[in-house]
Amino acid sequence: MAGVLTEVTALRYLEPLRAGGSVPGIVETDDLGTYVVKFSGAAQGHKALVAEVIVGELARRLGLRVPELVLVDFDPAVAAHEPDPEIQDILRASAGLNLGMDYLPKARDFKPGLVDVDPVEAGRVVWLDALTGNVDRSCRNPNLVVWHGALWLIDNGAGLIFHHRWSGAHASLLKRYDLSDHALGAFGPDVQAADAALAPLVTAELLREVVALVPDAWLADEPGFGSVAELREAYVRHLAARAAASAAWLPDGFASPEQLRATAAERAAATRAGRPAWLQQVPDLHGKPAVQADWSGHIG
């Protein structure tokens, strides 16, 4: 496997994906490819892109399906036609390298019943999310799509919570994240089997290979580190140590569909209770399952 991500140049900005908080866009590039591009100028900044690369490429090496990742050299001039001034602010702040994920034409947002997911595959996805602290692959926001009858992982940028505050990273080495409402919790994920199969694979050597794929520019100027190389090694040490201590953080249970419905109803009721009287009877549209952030509104 190549030691660097392929770099391509943006030629056409087709449209934004407005359902996503980071407002990624669909972009055509000089390799004749079409990509969902996450921009460095979005509010989440470079750390979301770093997590996308590390978690996504680690998932790929562990046998999970992730759209191909590329580096996209983006000139805001190719999106001069975008009329939304807020999106233009993001695009103008994103000149240079951004992250592209292969656009999967006609992929469908994951929902139960759309595809069969066996306990082995479910367990491996849950195990990866537990390792990397990704609590964002939930029933409300699955960050999964179905393409050609198979499950694909998207939106891994919420992982690696620890790198948002390195001073407290050590304290989270054994942390068991709450994945009780994981999108695949209802599929009987066999996390014990996943742990036996995957934990031995997450070695320092493999992690160095993955972390090396992150561009230097996305790691520069991190407080508390003397060099980019030192920061890369910090990612390797943290994830290798977590993998070695997996018994401490394996998920210990998942909410039933009934519990999830009850929680959603409680959340909706609490939201309504905080409204003015004249709004009490207005349906809570935000209580509905979230639309997939990055893959809604396909153009393929």
Output the pLDDT for position 186.
Answer: 94
pLDDT in tens, the chain (300 residues): 447 899 999 999 999 998 666 899 999 999 999 999 999 999 889 999 999 999 999 999 999 999 999 999 999 999 999 999 999 999 999 999 999 999 999 999 999 989 999 999 999 999 999 999 999 999 999 999 999 999 999 999 999 999 999 999 999 999 999 999 999 999 999 999 999 999 999 999 999 999 999 999 999 989 999 999 999 999 999 999 999 999 999 998 887 666 666 665 666 666 666 666 655 554 444 444 333 434 443 333
Output the pLDDT for position 253.
Answer: 84
100 bridge partner residues: 37, 70
Q: In whole angstroms, what is the distance from residue 182 CA to residue 204 CA?
A: 28
Rounded (to 5) percent helix, strand, coil in the chain:
40, 15, 45
Output the pLDDT for position 257.
Answer: 65
Output the pLDDT for position 42.
Answer: 94
Nearest to 299 by CA among 9, 23, 25, 11: 25
Output the pLDDT for position 20.
Answer: 62
Phi (first) and psi of residue 63, to 5 degrees: 95, 10
For 69, the enclosing helix (H) or strand (E) is: strand 69-74
Output the pLDDT for position 255.
Answer: 75
Residue 175 three-state SS: coil
Phi (first) and psi of residue 143, to 5 degrees: 50, 40
Q: In whole angstroms, what is the distance from residue 220 CA to residue 122 CA?
A: 36
Gyration radius (Cα) of the chain, Å = 20
Buried b / exposed e over 137-171, threshold 16 CB at 10 Å, is bbbbbbbbbbbeeebbbbbbbbbbbbbeebeebee
Tokens of 20: 């996503």
Tokens of 296: 């809604």
Q: Could you tell me whether strands 7-16 and 108-109 are parallel, antiparallel, or unpaired per DSSP bridges?
A: unpaired
Residue 229 three-state SS: helix
pTM score, whole prediction: 0.87
Question: Is the distance from CB of 202 to CB of 240 less than 8 angstroms?
Answer: yes
Q: In whole angstroms, what is the distance from residue 111 CA to residue 66 CA?
A: 18
Tokens of 46: 């470079």
Phi (first) and psi of residue 69, to 5 degrees: -100, 140
Residue 111, judged by CB atoms within 10 A of its CB (0-12, 13-18, 19+), counts as middle
